[in-house]
Structure 1
């Protein structure tokens, strides 16, 4: 989990324009993901002013200040808002920047950023980005591959063939998210996201070959920065004494933070093509989510057969 995000990172990732304070972007740090829309503050109520948040001005805030406040009142209010802890002022919808806001920002060294996006869209984009960056993270040993749009986390003991399986899936047209180490974080109540650490991004280690650059070898379409994790496939060495699920009705789950992810265990044995099996597992998982359950079809067919035989 990052303790803070620089305003420069926010600018680069949300594609904001810098109206004032280019030299301040590296210095200013954002420590909370919540965004403030300063409505009450414009009425001079500062008792609970969240000074540590990014302050977002939309049509409502800009119009109210212009129509209902004098120039001196606007300047005094903006000065109170521009504290040493305030990361940035952001103005949406391509609105003109009030001269009083610019003066207050310059006096107190607060950058002013702008965007042509609507206030609600910009608020959502900034919140999602900051929540992702500031969220608690867990590091998982495994491969994360996007298969037919599903994020599949492949886990298993070291040396069992996770990286080789990921390479096989990439050659089939699927996309690598992370090799060896996957950083996972909870985006919301139902969504778990995985990504690669920066040092390992787009790289894949194959024993006997070394490290390969997947994007360089297979093209930009073979990699992706992050994805939701929808399914965990655990690879386990074949053991005659271990009972593996044969019908698909013994679903396990693994919990990360507050999110439970479905998990299946696939036995590894010489001659089994894991790429084929994991592709089929991903398609079967998607079919179940769309309402088609092959296990239920089998059960229904079996019950029908028993019923037919019992009437003869």
Structure 2
């Protein structure tokens, strides 16, 4: 799994940071979370590809959605035929429909707008799902967690051969959870040669939010948490009033949730081209925190990767 940060600024873009957008690539599928103004150019600039099948909006503030009409139009100009699903918080479908047809016409390809409530599954795949969770902003908002299913346990080939299982199809059957019978009538069960299930990956994107218990629960054990870090300590009093977090607040939540890595994003334009002190403040609470930069890519390996 790979994550590309397309926009890491707060409400106002800067020369170094575009407004909010992040793209997840998993097993060939691409999912776009938020579409700030200029997102399509960021996708070109950083080579993410345009074959996105699902767009997930955390809320409808302009810095998270104003890039959607242009991106939809570009897909239309490029003769897109594949259907697109846009997921948006409950109660916001009419406004998103307006964005889809803001130029007076709808795209020629199918576009479906689905509302999603906190606690619901927005998308279910064969080996993963994307779940919405409650966030604490100034408007209807949700965050999203991409959660993979547990994987099969490791197959112990050496043990299987010791038990007399011949190399070949019986190995596959055992790894798939089926018992096999050997030529002498001995039955070998999967539990004898297959280890415990191994966890999949979890990547969590909060969008704009104050630190909160629902966010912490959604982030529990995440391999990567992408969290609002709009403000530094010196502006901490603004964070709760504007529905945002400080870098330190995000880091405290990450430590409490037991995540592996924390990416700080939605950085206020007041910090200009230097946001290093946000990372420094965050790492006083959680050592694996970093300030995400536009164009930065992050690989998310399996928890047991060697």
One fold, TM greater than 0.5? no
Larger Rg: 1
Give the number of the structure whose residues are more often helix, by fraction: 1
TM-score, normalized by length of structure 1? 0.28
TM-score, normalized by length of structure 2? 0.29
